[in-house]
Amino acid sequence: MIADIIMPKMGESITEGTILEWRKKIGDTIEKDETLLEIGTDKVDSEIPSTHSGQIVEILAEINDVVEVGVTIARIDVTGLSGHEEKIEAEKMNVEVPESDKNKKPERSDDLTESIKTKTEEIQVHMPINSRGETKGKRFYTPVVMKIAAEKDISLIEIESISGTGRGGRVTKKDLLNYIEIRGSEMFDAGQFSTLKIVGLADDRVEMDYMRTVIAEHMRRSLDTSAHVYVTAEAEVTPIVNYVIKRSRSFHASEGFRLTYTPFIFHAVIRALAQTPDMNASLDETTVVHHKHINLGMAVAVENGLMVPVIANCEELNFLGLCRKVFSLAKKTREKKITPDELQGSTFTITNFGVFNVTTGFPIINQPNVGILGVGTIKKRAVVLEGPGGDSIGIRSMLNLSLGFDHRLIDGAGGSKFIDLIHRNLEEIDLSNLL
């Protein structure tokens, strides 16, 4: 009995996904809930578990294929299950299992057995790929590459001499076809193919991975959409720094994670947004949409890219609740456990490049927001202190802020007033009853 594996629905607005990596190949056995493949959407990459136990007999989508939700992408033979297990699988697929077959292992047809045998032999040179797309041991070759190699009488040794441009150095169909084209020319020298390839291309050419492609498209669209303008400010945050140092140990003991400066910045931004409706808005052509709730997007650096999980309804959270939400969402994002729905609906975005020891930056607006705040690292500096007795020089912890806003809706005065609100909220924060 054959079970279909379909492209799953990853979120309310997700209608398709891109095949990023198959963790299993034709002929492999797989257990239910074991990872079968990794797919990417315009929101998040996800590992997809198998819905059945059995042996993979067909893979219907190649890496980088874009597949609509509900379309069959693989088939699994579940006839190797026990009678009880097979009955359960059949009920899931609304398939009747004859009484005579429920207590015995059904026989495969000769055609199916031969097909699996052929596929298995065809890809015996494959080695598993780890989560970073790197091969373990020998190099990985897809069935289509092996098929073309067999048709063109290309040995495995020749294939191994090809410099692959796929993930982890994998030889792709395009790499092999390029090799075949050069192979037929008079100048071809098998022992020098890799050198010839480098000379022919001049530079090493590697396709961007799916996440980087999505980020590139999103950023380019934002620059094409919004009229970006920037203003900067600096805030003295010495009291916040001292507060974090003082409360760090007790906070970690009670909450299980570190107290950082990020929630203080979020707290200041939320209060500023509550007073500035236009900054917590979006544009629908010529219509201004003022959002009822404050949903803060926070940029989180992940391997090979950037993701922006969203803290919804921030105005309803107290400071401790904000601390917990910032930590949990960042943790889920880095562990690849974030859901597509948790990456949608932001009304304003904050990006903290200060964690990389950067003092100032000018981030691109995260569409459809009209504003984004860049947060630099906190540095101790000598500053002029004004007092009743005159000016003096003191050492203070200073934080640089940069605000990018859409000039189609926000004028320079509006942007300047908003960043000044954030600046004052940080410097005048009441720390006595915060936690």
> Catalytic positions, please?
407, 411
SS3 29: strand
Please tell me whether residue 55 adopts helix, strand or coil conformation. strand
Neighbours of 222 (CB within 10 A): 20
Q: How many CA atoms lie within 13 A of 357 on its CB side?
A: 0
Ramachandran assignment for 285, one of left (phi > 0), alpha (psi -120 to 50 degrees), beta (any other): left
Amino acid letter at 421? L
C-beta of residue 391 within 8 angstroms of C-beta of residue 245: no
What is residue 129's DSSP assignment?
B
CA pair distance 310, 330, nearest whole angstrom = 10
Angular region, 356: left φ>0, alpha ψ -120 to 50, beta rest:
alpha
Describe the crossing of helices 110-122 and 143-151 by its angle, rounded to 10 degrees.
90
CB-based contact 33:49 (threshold 8 Å): yes
What letter would DSSP give residue 423?
H
CA 231 to CA 34: how far, in whole Å?
50
What are the backbone dihedrals phi and psi of residue 292, each rounded to the nearest 5 degrees, phi first? -70, -40
Nearest-angstrom CA–CA distance, 314 and 268? 12
Closest Cα partner for 264 from 183, 339, 322? 322
**What's the distance, CA 225 to chain centroid?**
23
Query: With left for phi above 0 and alpha for psi between -120 and 50, is residue 137 left, alpha or beta?
Result: left
